[in-house]
Amino acid sequence: MLAKAFATIDHVSHGRLEAGLRAGWHEQEYRDYGFPFEAIGVRQTQLEEATQIVRSMLTNNSTTFAGK
């Protein structure tokens, strides 16, 4: 969902989107949103996959992704 929002904002702003993605650190925020608070290694892997998806959505006409 975040990648779709980024792609839309990027297109509407004619490529001026600047976004920062992080692995997350605040356990309570995860819990509040109903997400499990994984170990840092898992969160870093999730961040890497999310970065690949967002980058692809911003640079390609269509995107597919197979990951965890």
Across the range 16-44, mean pLDDT stands at 94
In a domain, 58, yes or no: yes
Band of pLDDT at residue 32, cut at 50, 70 and 90: very high
In a domain, 33, yes or no: yes
Band of pLDDT at residue 16, cut at 50, 70 and 90: very high
Domain count, the chain: 1
What mean pLDDT is reported for the chain?
A: 91
In a domain, 45, yes or no: yes
Domain that holds residue 62: 1-12+24-68
Across the range 24-46, mean pLDDT stands at 95
pLDDT at 59 over 90: no
Band of pLDDT at residue 45, cut at 50, 70 and 90: very high
Query: DSSP of 22-54, one letter per residue?
Result: -----HHHHHHTT-----HHHHHHHHHHHHHHH
